[in-house]
Amino acid sequence: MRIRKHNQSDDDVEVSMSPLIDCVFLLLIFFLVTAMLKKPNKDINVSLPVSNAAIEIDPTDGTVIGVDAKGRFYFDGVEVTRMEMRSQLHQISQIDPSQSIRLDGDEKAKFIDIAEVLDLCNFYQINNVGVRTYDESYNR
């Protein structure tokens, strides 16, 4: 194999600038167009509602599900496992899905445990669920 010798010297090599200038202008046009398409901030300054009162119901009415600070579940005052609670809620949904359920959650209970009970009630289509809050007259 023979190596060809070129008669050109290294000083005679030129790089064409026109493709480089075209790329720069295309990038400039791209960034200008995308900057013009930016949508304005759509945040609305509103005051969100605050709950001033809760609906009072008879505390002895319906089934009571409790969640303590350690994540233990109670069904009508008796400690149950997650699976037992699921089966109890499934039975309620089969017998009377309109039965009222009161959820008593400790203030230090994890939200995920409270959400799990609410999720199960929703899954079994038990819609009459209330969350008990602190009441001066009842909690004396």
Identify the helix (H) or strand (E) that includes residue 114. Answer: helix 111-123
Q: How many domains does the chain have?
A: 1
Range of the domain at 91: 63-131
100 and 61 Cβ atoms separated by less than 8 Å: yes
Confidence (pTM): 0.56
Q: Would residue 32 count as lying in a domain?
A: no
Q: Which of 38-42, 55-59, 80-84, 117-121 has the lowest mean pLDDT?
A: 38-42
Q: What is the CATH number of the domain that holds 68?
A: 3.30.420.270
**Most confident option among 51-55, 68-72, 74-78, 83-87:** 83-87
Q: Would residue 31 count as lying in a domain?
A: no
pLDDT tens readout for residues 83-113: 999 999 999 999 988 888 888 878 778 889 8
Q: For position 90, what pLDDT does the model report?
A: 93
Q: Would residue 55 count as lying in a domain?
A: no
Nearest to 105 by CA among 58, 139, 66: 66
Q: Would residue 117 count as lying in a domain?
A: yes
Q: Would residue 15 count as lying in a domain?
A: no
Q: Would residue 1 count as lying in a domain?
A: no
Q: For position 11, what pLDDT does the model report?
A: 65
- C-alpha 48/C-alpha 46 separation (Å) is 6
Beta bridge partners of residue 99, listed in sequence order: none
Q: For position 81, what pLDDT does the model report?
A: 93
Higher pLDDT residue, 50 or 16?
A: 16
Residue 16 binned pLDDT confidence (cut-offs 50, 70, 90): confident
Q: Mean pLDDT throughout 111-116? A: 89
Q: Would residue 48 count as lying in a domain?
A: no
Q: Would residue 140 count as lying in a domain?
A: no
